[in-house]
Structure 1
Amino acid sequence: MEGMLIFAGLFSAVLTAFLIESYKTLNPDPGDLTVLLLVRISEQIVASANGNTSNIPLPFELNDGGPTRAALACNALWFLSLGLSLSCALIATLLEQWAREFLHRTDIHSAPVIRARVFTFLYYGLRRFNMHTIVDMIPFLLHLSLLLFFSGLVAFLVPVNTGIAIIAAAMLFVVATTYSVFTVFPLRYLDSPYRTPLTGLFWKLFQYFKIRRHRHPPPSEPANQAEHSETASETMVAAISRVAAEPSEQRASRDLKAIVWTMKSLADDTELEPFVDAIPDILWGPHGRRDAHHLFLCGLIKNPQTLLHARIIDLYRSCNAGILTPTARKRRKIICYKAMWTTISLLEASDPLSGQIYPYYAQEIRAQSATEQDLAVLQYASSVEAMVVWRMFENHKPILNMHIESLQHLQATSGAVDAVKLDQIYMSVREMVNSLDYPRLHLGLYYGDLHDQISWLSGKIRNTLMMAPHLILFHYLRSASKLDSLPYFFHRTVDLLRPQHATPPTVCDHLDRAFGEILPRLLNNFNSANPGWLDSIMDELIIAWERQRSLDGITLHPELLQYLNHRRSEEAVSNALKPFNTPDTLLFWTALVNTLESTAARNRLRDSLTAAWKVMSTRNYPDDSLISRLLNACMRPSLDIPSLTPSLIAALKWVYIRPKLYPRPKALWATDQANSMHGWLATIGRPISSAGADLSISPADHRFSRDHPVRVEYIDALVVLYAEYLEICAKSSAGSGFPHDAKATIHMIMSDMIGSSRVHDGHQMRLAHAVRALFENPACEHLRFTIIADTWLFRRYPSSSNHAIPRWLYNPTARDSVIATLTQYIEKMEASAEPDRDEVVRQTRIVLNSLK
């Protein structure tokens, strides 16, 4: 309003000066009347001299008696202009007063809540009475006043001078045309900076007709056009926001220009540092990479005016200038490393510029990383160094493959071999290999005739292509293990570094070295009950071991066995075994069988069995096709580990039986005498005669053919498995000979509910005797309450009074034996001083009463 008042005041003053002269034309001028009368007298004298006495009429101007039309038009337009100008000044003054009162009324109260409510009340009053419209009217009225002034000026000049009037009219036309263009231009180009107070009115009219057109589309227009009317009712500001935010090539170009201008303006390192700090967050978000920002970041790298990678390196070099505090120096280094990682992930290997950037980075990073002692900085430097070397190798791959093709062409060429070209290839490959800085890849010197040199060099190149990705990954994992947390973007870095092809035998020694460095640090310093950051590194090593090229005769890696056996976190072990859980691989169990059957791996038998048991406890089970081999290996007389084999054998048998229980129980069949699992089933099954009659159990009648299979009810197999394991526990003494982790084994094999079919009487008796023997053995004291409360043997009895749910203990003799065993157990517990005696007696008595 201040600007409006100044303009209205100045304009009114100028207009008043013109009005002082123009309003005189509304009345006749006495001087003009005198001149006209003198002219009439002169004409009459001349006429009398000529003898003409007729009356000479007065000039027409004296007969009209009023101002001319030009004078009326001019004064009317100028007085209207003056009135509008003064009205604008008055309204602007009122608006200033209203605004001051609005602010005063909202700030008069001290309580923030009251101020907020008064503000809201008065603000919606402004909107209700359209005060914004009055504000927008003031510039329009001033512009209209100026237009009227120019129109009046033309009318004023018409009686004075026609040429000057034409010039003024031309100026009025130009002003009016320009004003009209400024009014409608933003309707076509939303980014136009030109607008007038009438632009909003024309926009509303345009939207109104647009809405009507969408509601009543012409017959020639497709029907689906009417569905796009949601943009027809938007305001001009909303339309500008929508168009500015829509993804398009124009938006990308604008973004790039803006970011280039921004970076060019950052001349000082302190200004550049926040910009570089923001680069990783621009490209990477919580849900991954933001591809929308990929292009303009690449543009910053490729633009010769910005050269983002060079600016980052310059900022990185400034850390060693000696002018920063240690804290600021550390912060700047970390910012630079994060930005380097981001820019490295931007360019593809095929991009010509990447061949210039990565050696540029490598030269600086390797020089600084060798002397860096701060682990917090190395956390970022290790990821960046690995990415740089990996990108350099990716850039070399097409050239190395091209050299292989050239060498093949030379070898196939009859006649003399081009020694000069061979030397050029050798020097090129040598420079590339040396840039990776891995001793195992250095070419060395080559001798022999030219054909032998070609074969030797081709083999070296292929070896480099095969080994380099794995060496880069292993070096990164070893560097990461020396830190105190995972490196920056570890998982994303590993996803990029992980080779696509299998692990070749030539890098197995590097894999062993990585295992040997990482595993002791994990088990000695970070062996907690929860997964840790070093477990992520171990997972990558295990994946590399799992992806070996040759799986024939592969045995379990010694460090892998140590990890599985001594890692306290079951979740970490389970995560490490996820690569083996896929249907396409049976590597772990195949390697376990090979280890048990291999004479060269005798020193790993115990570790292999304990690892197998721990793996099964994480619900990672072998396939049925391997269970027979595993059982045969575990039951060999040479495998004399009495504490491990019973638990593992029981678990393997349970794994074979368990899939047959779901979704509903199925019968098992023994058809192959060579299969140890089928042989075990046949000893407990119900043979089928050729007539199909169900015979009593008789080992002599077992037949191992598909014509005469042995049918085994799943419930019989489960009960016999329970009985076997309890018998082994009952015969064992406390100490090293007791079955390994017997309580966990019982929980595993007795976790399934006994089905609905009737258990054979002989199996009931066997299980009842096994329970009695276990309760009588003092070494099994820690297992007694587990059998009662935590297994399906007895847990279902007190849990249901519904007799429709089947119970397995039907044989009276077997039931009486179990009842007697539990009665003696209750009497013994009541006489003991165990801390949980009352709870044990209570639950055992419930089971006992249910059995009775």
Structure 2
Amino acid sequence: MSFTNNPSGAGSFADARSKLGSTPSSDSSSWNGDEATQPGDDLAAAKLWAVYISEAGKHDKVLVKRWKSDMEGLLIFAGLFSASLTAFIIESYKDLSPDQSAIMISLLERIAQQQLNPGAIPQALDPGIAPQTGPSTASLACNILWFLSLGLSLSCALIATLVQQWARDFLQNTEMRPSPIVRARIFSYLYFGLQRFGMHTMVEFIPFLLHLSLLLFFAGLVAFLLPINIVITAVAAGILGLISVTYLCLTVLPIISADSPYRTPLSSAIWAFFQQLSRLFCRGREAPTDQESTLTSSEDTKVPTMMEVMVSKAVASSPKRDQRDAQVIVWTVRSLTDNEELEPFVEALPDLIWGPGGQRRSYDGMINKLLDAADLHLIPRIEALLRSCDSGLLVPETEARRRISCLKALWSLAYFIGSYAGPRDSFPHFDHNLLKSQLNSKSTAPRLQDFALSASSLARWIDFCAVTSSVQRALTTLRSKQSNSTAQDLRVVIQEVQQEAYSRDFGDFCTALAQGISFNAKDLRSCLESLESFELKSFDTLLPYLKSSAALDTAPYEFEATCKIMQVSDILWKHIDVRNNVKDTLQEIITSGYIPSQAELHPVDIIVDMLLYSLGNDFGNPQAAKALAKYITYRTAGPGYNQALSGSIPMIWLLC
């Protein structure tokens, strides 16, 4: 969105308007407003102009409404201020007239002197001892300042009243015709008239008159009190100085910091002045050539407004912007109090993490803030929203939508945690019973099992990552103490791992770890081997996921992305126990009736390709070899078949 030179940003749609229709040329147009006489091209563009009217109408109504509300506030303040100022002027303007009492006293004194010396010749009155009949300097300055203040205040009230009338006329003139084309052209004609005659500047200037009137009042108050008492004068002068300094700071602050909420009517003028001065200074230093100066367009000389600078800094990519985004989203989640408010957020959450092109990285800091904020309880709140689907109080459509949204959100959070599992210090807990129950749910939600299987398996993988992180910390600690480890050192390290493993439902690993170690310093190598063996637990999640995926009619939700997160090193694939499990899994998938009949790619084909690649040329299990031969025999030729057997095939498989 582009903005005009209007400091308040009120003309932000000017460029958009100029694209939709050109500025009306003059009042001498032959258009008579009769829809029946519109050209065919105008009738064809009626829908386009209706869109313009909709957008321009919303903008103009907001603009005029803001003007009217501002003017109402100014009228109230100007009325109260003028009434208060009038009371002071009534008291001060008396000093402008000659003091009749002083003149009378002077004349009486002269008459008395004549009576005391009746034989004396009357003399002219000495000007030096004549009473001062003119106003004093302080009185004159006070009244000048206060009358100026009153005049500005009343002028402000008058102009504010006129602005309200102009705003009403603007809305009335833009809504007087039903034809979209006529209304659109009236909109553009009047709006560009507002810009051409500086209506925005006028509205910005009115508050400045009132501010200046207030400053003149305090300056006159200082002059009024000066002949009376120096202490009271000092207090009034201090108030005037404080107000002036504050006003100056409020004027300059938005120029220094674009996110400042404070500003005065002078801020925009000072900003434009310094911008022009800066440009002139830069041009003087660069000294462009004649050819460059002729190529300079009016757009290059345009001074950016404060609004444009604010918008630019607000949307510019930076660590501070990411931090602000995270803070506002965390506040948003804190403010969501019930399921109806939380559900739209849960629906939008997966799109922040995963998109058609893969994982998004723009909002990683925001997601980390949401997960690390202990008071948010993000995952438990999403799980509570998922449990509400089993209450029986929701209509089937709402229940199905909410259930799928929650499963997608849980999967995306688990994917995000798994993609950054290495550097994480803490891992959230998922309710595995809840996720597994979705696999057997009687809900009418489409592809519910596809979503539930991926979410449940990936959540279980996060548990594995959490224990792996604890194991890695324990290995680092033990290896650093390898030469001088004590039984107490072993006990502390092992107990920390066991506590994490028990909380993640890896009880068999805890038992094996405790049985293989007697907490003796000489058992350090045995301790290290037991900890390192935990990596094999990764296949306890991966292989069941592959087996369950093969039983589905379609691939589970984001099947390839889920498998990518649950990757293990090639070294682990070569472990004898792992290879046996892989062969058994392959045999079970193929012999359980999961061989697809269609030629298109199926999850079974992807799984077979993955398992065959991991086995390489090692296929010592005759039952598994026969199962593979069965797959080759009964699998329909096509893309799926080619995908599954894309790697090298050992000759023994073809001979079985």
Both structures adopt the same fold (TM-score exceeding 0.5): yes
Distance 1:537 1:56, change over 3 A: farther
* Residue identity in the other structure for 1:496: I
Query: Superposed, which structure 2 residues align to 1:376-391 within 5 Å?
Result: 376-391=447-462
Counterpart position of 2:258: 190
Distance 1:501 1:430, change over 3 A: farther
User: For 2:186 and 2:413, how far apart are their aligned partners in 1?
Assistant: 53
The range that moved more, 240-249 or 203-212, is 240-249
Gaps in structure 1 of 5+ consecutive residues: 220-228, 581-586, 605-852
* Residue identity in the other structure for 2:329: I
Partner of residue 397 from structure 1, selected from 468, 476, 494: 468
**1:34 maps onto 2:104 in alignment:** yes
Maintained 8 Å contact 1:256/1:299: yes
Query: Superposed, which structure 2 residues align to 1:323-722 within 5 Å?
Result: 323-347=393-417, 348-350=420-422, 354-355=426-427, 357-358=428-429, 360-362=430-432, 364-366=434-436, 368-369=437-438, 371-374=440-443, 376-400=447-471, 432=501, 443=512, 464-466=534-536, 468-501=537-570, 503-504=573-574, 505-516=576-587, 518-519=589-590, 526-531=596-601, 535-548=602-615, 551=618, 557-564=625-632, 566-568=634-636, 570-578=638-646, 580=647, 587-588=648-649, 591-592=650-651, 594-595=652-653, 601=655, 604=656
Maintained 8 Å contact 2:96/2:134: yes
Counterpart position of 1:136: 204
Counterpart position of 2:151: 83
Counterpart position of 2:327: 257
C-alpha deviation, 1:418, in angstroms: 6.6
User: For 1:19 and 1:426, how far apart are their aligned partners in 2?
Assistant: 86
* Residue identity in the other structure for 1:372: S
Query: Superposed, which structure 2 residues align to 1:235-274 within 5 Å?
Result: 235-274=305-344
Maintained 8 Å contact 2:513/2:531: no
* Residue identity in the other structure for 2:538: P
1:465-507 deviation per Cα after TM superposition (whole angstroms, max 9, x unaligned): 23x3334222112222333432222221111112221533423
Counterpart position of 1:780: none
User: For 1:292 and 1:61, how far apart are their aligned partners in 2?
Assistant: 87
Choose 1 or 2 for highest CA Rg: 1
C-alpha deviation, 1:528, in angstroms: 2.7
Partner of residue 150 from structure 1, selected from 201, 208, 218: 218
Relative contact order (alpha carbons < 8 A, sep ≥ 6): 1 or 2 greater? 2
Maintained 8 Å contact 1:446/1:456: no
Query: Superposed, which structure 2 residues align to 1:14-163 within 5 Å?
Result: 14-42=84-112, 48=117, 55=123, 57-58=125-126, 60=128, 62=130, 66-163=134-231
Distance 1:130 1:113, change over 3 A: same
* Residue identity in the other structure for 1:87: S
Distance 1:441 1:250, change over 3 A: closer
* Residue identity in the other structure for 1:378: Q
1:296-352 deviation per Cα after TM superposition (whole angstroms, max 9, x unaligned): 221222223323233333334444455444544443333332222232233443566
Distance 1:112 1:434, change over 3 A: closer
Partner of residue 7 from structure 1, selected from 61, 77, 81: 77
Maintained 8 Å contact 2:435/2:452: yes
Query: Superposed, which structure 2 residues align to 1:269-288 within 5 Å?
Result: 269-288=339-358
C-alpha deviation, 1:552, in angstroms: 8.7
TM-score, L = length of structure 1:
0.58
Maintained 8 Å contact 1:410/1:418: no
TM-score, L = length of structure 2:
0.74
Distance 1:167 1:481, change over 3 A: same
User: For 2:517 and 2:76, how far apart are their aligned partners in 1?
Assistant: 97
Alignment root-mean-square deviation, CA: 4.3
User: For 2:191 and 2:218, how far apart are their aligned partners in 1?
Assistant: 39
User: For 1:517 and 1:34, how far apart are their aligned partners in 2?
Assistant: 127
User: For 2:370 and 2:617, how far apart are their aligned partners in 1?
Assistant: 46
Maintained 8 Å contact 1:350/1:395: no
* Residue identity in the other structure for 1:309: I
Maintained 8 Å contact 2:550/2:604: yes
1:178-236 deviation per Cα after TM superposition (whole angstroms, max 9, x unaligned): 111111111112121111000000110121122123323499xxxxxxxxx98993211
Among all aligned residue pairs of Structure 1 and Structure 2, give the percentage whose two residues are the same amino acid: 35
* Residue identity in the other structure for 2:80: L
User: For 2:333 and 2:557, how far apart are their aligned partners in 1?
Assistant: 26
C-alpha deviation, 1:108, in angstroms: 0.9
* Residue identity in the other structure for 2:210: L
1:231-258 deviation per Cα after TM superposition (whole angstroms, max 9, x unaligned): 9932111111122222333323322332
Query: Superposed, which structure 2 residues align to 1:160-179 within 5 Å?
Result: 160-179=228-247
The range that moved more, 239-248 or 133-142, is 239-248
User: For 1:561 and 1:457, how far apart are their aligned partners in 2?
Assistant: 43
Distance 1:97 1:13, change over 3 A: same
C-alpha deviation, 1:114, in angstroms: 1.8
Maintained 8 Å contact 2:143/2:220: yes
C-alpha deviation, 1:143, in angstroms: 1.2
Maintained 8 Å contact 2:450/2:555: yes
**1:303 maps onto 2:373 in alignment:** yes
User: For 2:275 and 2:183, how far apart are their aligned partners in 1?
Assistant: 38
User: For 1:386 and 1:87, how far apart are their aligned partners in 2?
Assistant: 74
User: For 1:82 and 1:410, how far apart are their aligned partners in 2?
Assistant: 85
User: For 2:468 and 2:207, how far apart are their aligned partners in 1?
Assistant: 68
Number of corresponding residues: 567
C-alpha deviation, 1:8, in angstroms: 2.3
Distance 1:271 1:353, change over 3 A: farther
* Residue identity in the other structure for 1:501: D
Gaps in structure 2 of 5+ consecutive residues: 1-70, 288-298
* Residue identity in the other structure for 2:326: L
1:788-838 deviation per Cα after TM superposition (whole angstroms, max 9, x unaligned): xxxxxxxxxxxxxxxxxxxxxxxxxxxxxxxxxxxxxxxxxxxxxxxxxxx
SS at match of 2:89: helix
User: For 2:224 and 2:491, how far apart are their aligned partners in 1?
Assistant: 96
